[in-house]
Structure 1
């Protein structure tokens, strides 16, 4: 199993020697894909609607010149179109949370998290201790944060998820939900609604590009402060988006940089490398049968972003 994971990781992170096909703007689906029931229930519980939530986040961005300026600045730094960050913000605040907070509120919340004392753990075992288990030995060859945490997620899926190991049972859930959300499963934080594991995964890129201090899984309060602070959370959002674009280019052979609905979809569902591998394998099979290649496709969340792309571009280009 360790050899299989190592092979999978080496394939995942090695750029392929083919040119990427540009995915055109717009949606591949004529109708919006189904919205998950959990998102619908959350919205109904607040006596709101998706349309109302979309309008709130749209207006928050439109009315806050400081926020727009930060989005444009960080996009230039990471060499992406700012529509990608706007799309992720719109998707998160339409389907996962509601845009009640203003920018200053997030700064205040970030400071409050810095003083808290908690750790990333499950069943009394910290994640720092957990990844020292022998099953994770295969990951020690990776030093870059994206590869290291990506490998650890693969090991979790293969060796621990929903299984009993050394007398201890582990939940049938994502690594990030089990170890990195100490308040309740599924919780994300800040303007960009980031998961702590996502921030840890991209800390090397953010350190290199934005010169922000690297995050450590042993210091949970600093991780939460980073994803709550708008000045850093936007950098982590950009790094996450760049990672998705690179994975689809290098693994699946598609340039998704011109389609904000696709980057928003991947921001929503995560695991871009694994999804790019699945698409690459499917297209390899289709090509061998003489069939047309399958293009990446947006989910319900990305569909909304592409549908409103012109309106959102007009806001960010003010």
Structure 2
């Protein structure tokens, strides 16, 4: 069995396991059952069947599909709605920077991290990207893996809890269920193919989600297709993203110590509470639900947050504007930090108060 065939075979086995657990959780009424069923399946498979994992080609296809589905959920007035959220970008940048400063200080003072490790543990970016940058500056990657994965677990659990109790506004109570026409399906397929090729050509990892999203949104803004959804495709995307996310959780078991887990868990809980409070405050300023604003400002992976927001029927224009603004802010803060490190590489290397756990 060649590598591609073997990878696709194991991907199919993973999807079958995720489908069974996702169907069970959805049947009992758990919010985001397909996603969390897949996540739990992946965590168990990593322990007992580590060879069973989603192939990169399947993962990339799910990201492209998710981007197309998000774009397909936008209404033709997307550009006028974007103009309404002009204040959102600076607010998200300020909030992201503030939480980064607080988190870095927390890990420096209470977890005794050096400044490199504290910075990359506190910044709310994707784990893969943070490991790439942190390795370049000699940070403790073990601590970074544990803090990011702990944050992921707490945030996913928190979103599940809030989604089960928070009220959703009527206009976003569910994803639009307009059936796809043959012409509409053709346009969306073209958006997916073109967006995927653009991402490959430009070698932009986020492009697999972003380019199909922009093309699909443009098609809908031009009135070439009507807003549409595919519950089956959305459930499949939830399962693939859940499987990919769950496969990373083995890093918690491999790199954890009690003190490190306590510090990471405390910060993750504090971050979620502060973000929930910020979202609650935002409901007094914007005509949006608590759940939508929480998904907009929550510091999670953009792929995971996107699929959850789409599944929960949130206002995708607002959520994606905020999440993409956060990604821009993260890249900006990383570049500023690396510039500062280059200017004074030895300053603050020793953690205050002792060694790292």
TM-score range (shorter-chain normalised) is under 0.3
Tell me the TM-score normalized by structure 2.
Answer: 0.25
